Amino acid sequence: MSTVWDFRARFYDVCEASDLRRGSSKKALFRDMRGRILFVGVGTGMDIPHFPAGRTIVGIDISEKMLRKARPRARAYSGRMVLLRADAQNLKFPDNSFDTLVTSCTMCSVPDPVRAFREYHRVLRPGGRLLMFEHVRSRNCLLGLSLDMMTLWTRLSGTEMNRDTVSNARTAGFRITSIASVFLDIILSVRATKGATTQNESPTLPSNSVHPSPFTP
């Protein structure tokens, strides 16, 4: 799997240099990065300028070539940032080692997302927070089918456009605390914690909604 991302590393910054990266929404989400922070799928580090200042962050990625491009950005960060090559599905960190785990457009790419979420759950301390900026399958019929069709070719370059990332996180044991729409019901800003789910506490975007709808429980 690293091969496709090693290949994409060459063109990644050019392909991704647009307003569609939603920097202000990411900044708002990343503001909650606290304590010992693990950022999974750091890529070429394009999100690093959106990180809050002065944090201590471990950034991992499966692709050494992505990490190579991320290193100058990590060095320019005002806090402390360590970059490591690692597989999200098989983390080498001990249980309960992080207070916050962050993903950004990564859960569409990790081959077995539920396995990765189980690893995130393991390495987060009880009460630790999962922050995700991710694109997912729309629940609108037409948009959902379009994303299914797109996935037929985007998966050839390592990206699935039609994942149910919120359900995958729940399956691994996370309690979802808020889901906010960044673009329709396709790009979401999601907060979750490692903790038990209580009854009536299961935030979702309204069904069939394709309208931006900020939502907190």
Ligand X SMILES: C[S@@+](CC[C@H](N)C(=O)[O-])C[C@H]1O[C@@H](n2cnc3c(N)ncnc32)[C@H](O)[C@@H]1O
By C-beta, is 104 or 140 nearer to ligand X?
A: 104
Say how many C-beta atoms besides its own lie within 10 A of residue 35's C-beta.
12
- Shortest CB 199 distance to ligand X, Å: 34
Q: What are phi and psi of 136, to 5 degrees?
A: -135, 175
46 binds ligand X (CB under 6 A): yes
185 binds ligand X (CB under 6 A): no
User: Of 58, 66, 179, 188, which lies in the binding site for ligand X, with binding defined by CB under 6 A?
Assistant: 66
CB 146 within 8 A of CB 210: no
Say how many C-beta atoms besides its own lie within 10 A of residue 111's C-beta.
13
Residue type at position 115 = R
41 binds ligand X (CB under 6 A): yes
By C-beta, is 47 or 185 nearer to ligand X?
A: 47
Computed over its alpha carbons, how large is the radius of gyration of the chain?
A: 16
CB 10 within 8 A of CB 44: no
Single out the segment in contact with ligand X by CB under 6 A; choices: 105-113, 136-144, 176-184, 199-207.
105-113
**Interface residue list for ligand X (CB under 6 A):** 1, 5, 16, 40-41, 43, 46-47, 60-63, 66, 87-89, 104-106, 109-110
